[in-house]
Amino acid sequence: MGRHSCCYKQKLRKGLWSPEEDEKLMNHITKHGHGCWSSVPKLAGLQRCGKSCRLRWINYLRPDLKRGAFSQEEEDLIIELHAVLGNRWSQIAAQLPGRTDNEIKNLWNSCIKKKLRQKGIDPNTHKPLTEADRRGAAPTVSTERTSGSSDVNPSSAGALGNLSHLLSETAQSSMLLPVYDKNHPETASLPRPKVPPKELFLDQLTAGHESPSSCRSSGPTLYFPFQQPLGYSNECGTGDGASMNSLWFNQNDFNCSTISTVMPPVSPSALSTSMGLNLPPENPRHGGTGIGNTPFYWDGSNPSSSGSTGSSGSNSMGFEPQSTTSILENSVFPWTDIGQEKDTRVHLVEELKWPDLLHGTFAEATTAMQNQSQSLYDDVIKAESQFNMEGICASWFQNQQPQQQLQAASDMYDKDLQRLPLSFEHI
DNA sequence: AATCCTGTCAACCGCGGAGCC
DNA sequence: AGGCTCCGCGGTTGACAGGAT
């Protein structure tokens, strides 16, 4: 557990980054990739620590960042994912291409928490607030900012006319699916169910995300009907009822219909994007609360249908060819947002900062890159030292998805899949 | 107009895990 | 085995903007 060496160094700049610093960092990573972050400041000529450079790149300079306000669908997805994952912002961010964990964390702390409380839902437990809570009692968690306690409107919960059923549903699902949170001893002290614990599902969720190559899995098939939408959003996203659709995780014959009562309250959209789930043909567009209602198909039984080899697949950056198409169609990437979403349009005008201009220099080439076929991807993986425009993407892929890691993750996921039926035998 | 309050966002801090030697 | 380095994560802080008083 050593302290990062750069932390001890003196004469390092702190605070906000200047455009010049941003440019230096951008130029360096564009040309050379980041490699070892601790060496980046020196090589880039920056008086910053490597950690700071990494953070700046990840949170601000990365060319794939989606800018602008969060959509309602994104907020809904964050809420649903938070119910499952808790404060694992990085994992939540992995389900939201183009968004950073920091961004999501800020949104949660500044906005979503308040909204949930106003709906009478405890943002930490995702259960209905107690009467005491709703009367404006102290926040339920010590990490709460003091300013956050004042936003509880005692009358707001009752004022939301259609919330009662929502609350009862939420309460019901929460009772069935207690969210274990290390930050909440009261939940941690709850007796753990003998059914597959949350962590197991988290494993699947993260494995699904981290090992896109799992499409090669030849393990037993599982059907996971997710029939318990949280329905947090009473503003949108629930009216079409699509989120009520079952989502089937098709992996052969294991019909696990009872799992719907023990599954974490994760939305089909969340899982479809994170796990590459295969929707049944009769439900080609679930229209749920996912990112742009992205129809995200991925047939595990047909590797070719994934549009890529097993070494690719979807990932957090949405670079997998097939999913990229969907994602592009749904305006995940900033350069495809332009002129497509009204709110984004506003923000493009209002929030255009100089890094956006920098990003603009990437737009054309990167868009072209994204339209390239799998062969490019393969080439990119192989071309480990090309630092032209394609090199950016290459280094990006190298950093994000080394094939060895993919293989290892795939193997691990295969094991997890094989473990699942055993786990469910205890139900 | 000045001050205060609040919300948002970028960045820092400290910790733990992983890998290497 | 233990120490070191690096990376990544989550919590927190502080600057800033905009609205309210």
| d(C-alpha A227, C-alpha A259), whole Å | 9
Angle at A362 between CA A38 and CA A210, to 5 degrees: 60
**pLDDT tens for each residue of A309-344:** 333 333 333 333 333 333 333 333 333 333 333 343
Q: Is the CB of A150 under 7 A from strand B?
A: yes
| d(C-alpha A245, C-alpha A263), whole Å | 15
Q: What percent of chain A has pLDDT over 90?
A: 0
State the average pLDDT over residues A265-286.
Answer: 36
**pLDDT tens for each residue of A53-74:** 988 998 888 888 887 888 888 8
Closest protein residue to C3 (Cα–C1'): A2
HSE value, Cβ hemisphere, 13 Å, CA-based, for A173: 26
| d(C-alpha A325, C-alpha A313), whole Å | 12
- Whether the pLDDT of residue A398 is over 80: the answer is no
Of the pLDDT bands very low, low, confident and very high (cuts 50, 70, 90), residue A234 is: very low
Q: Which nucleotides of B are covered by protein (CB under 7 A)?
A: 6-18
How many Å does it take to go from CA A422 to C1' C15? 53
Tokens of A337: 């947002």
- Whether the pLDDT of residue A229 is over 80: the answer is no
Tokens of A215: 């499409």
- Whether the pLDDT of residue A81 is over 60: the answer is yes
State the average pLDDT over residues A115-144.
Answer: 63
Where are the CATH 1.10.10.60 domain residues in chain A?
A: 8-62, 67-130
At a 7 A CB cut-off, the residues bordering strand C are: A 1-5, 15-16, 35-39, 50-51, 54, 87-91, 101-102, 105-106, 109, 142-143, 145, 183, 399
Range from A18-27, A250-259, A282-291, A347-356 that averages highest in pLDDT? A18-27
- Which nucleotide's C1' sits nearest to the alpha carbon of A55? B11
Of the pLDDT bands very low, low, confident and very high (cuts 50, 70, 90), residue A306 is: very low
How many Å does it take to go from CA A4 to C1' C1? 22
The pLDDT, as a whole number, for residue A109 is 86
- Which nucleotide's C1' sits nearest to the alpha carbon of A113? B7
- Whether the pLDDT of residue A293 is over 50: the answer is no
What contacts A153, CB < 8 A, 6 or more positions away? Answer: A117, A118, A159
| d(C-alpha A84, C-alpha A92), whole Å | 9
How many Å does it take to go from CA A342 to C1' C20? 29
Spatial CA neighbour of A216 closest among A349, A403, A407, A39: A407
Contact A359, A26 (CB under 8 A): no
Q: Which nucleotides of C are covered by protein (CB under 7 A)?
A: 4-13, 15
- Which nucleotide's C1' sits nearest to the alpha carbon of A350? C17
State the average pLDDT over residues A278-302.
Answer: 33
Range from A108-122, A290-304, A384-398 that averages highest in pLDDT? A108-122
- Whether the pLDDT of residue A110 is over 50: the answer is yes
Q: Is the CB of A13 under 7 A from strand B?
A: yes
What contacts A141, CB < 8 A, 6 or more positions away? Answer: A124, A183, A184
The pLDDT, as a whole number, for residue A282 is 32
Of the pLDDT bands very low, low, confident and very high (cuts 50, 70, 90), residue A274 is: very low
Residues 286-305 of A with CB under 7 A from strand B: none
| d(C-alpha A348, C-alpha A344), whole Å | 6
Between residues A45 and A390, the one the model is more confident about:
A45
Q: Which residues of A78-115 are buried (b: 16+ CB within 10 A; e: fewer)?
A: bbbbbbbbbbebebbbbbbbbbbbebbbebbbeebbbb
- Which nucleotide's C1' sits nearest to the alpha carbon of A51? C7
**pLDDT tens for each residue of A150-163:** 333 333 333 333 33
Of the pLDDT bands very low, low, confident and very high (cuts 50, 70, 90), residue A383 is: very low
- Which nucleotide's C1' sits nearest to the alpha carbon of A69? B8
Of the pLDDT bands very low, low, confident and very high (cuts 50, 70, 90), residue A117 is: confident
Q: Which residues of A355-366 are buried (b: 16+ CB within 10 A; e: fewer)?
A: beebbeebbeeb
**pLDDT tens for each residue of A21-47:** 888 898 888 888 888 888 888 888 888
Closest protein residue to B7 (Cα–C1'): A110
- Whether the pLDDT of residue A348 is over 60: the answer is no
What contacts A413, CB < 8 A, 6 or more positions away? Answer: A207, A208, A211, A213, A214, A217
Task: State in words which class domain A8-62 has.
Answer: mainly alpha
Of the pLDDT bands very low, low, confident and very high (cuts 50, 70, 90), residue A355 is: very low
Spatial CA neighbour of A333 closest among A135, A62, A17, A72: A62
Between residues A384 and A86, the one the model is more confident about:
A86
Mean pLDDT across chain A:
51
| d(C-alpha A243, C-alpha A269), whole Å | 8
Spatial CA neighbour of A321 closest among A272, A373, A399: A373
| d(C-alpha A56, C-alpha A180), whole Å | 32
Decide which of 3.60.15.10, 1.10.10.60, 1.20.210.10, 3.40.190.10 is the CATH code for A67-130.
1.10.10.60
Residues 61-120 of A with CB under 7 A from strand B: 69, 102-103, 105-107, 109-111, 114
**pLDDT tens for each residue of A164-194:** 333 333 333 333 333 333 333 333 333 333 3
How many Å does it take to go from CA A292 to C1' C8? 29
Closest protein residue to C8 (Cα–C1'): A90
Q: What percent of chain A has pLDDT over 70?
A: 28
The pLDDT, as a whole number, for residue A232 is 46
The pLDDT, as a whole number, for residue A76 is 87
Q: Is the CB of A244 under 7 A from strand B?
A: no
The pLDDT, as a whole number, for residue A131 is 58
Spatial CA neighbour of A211 closest among A362, A349, A409: A409
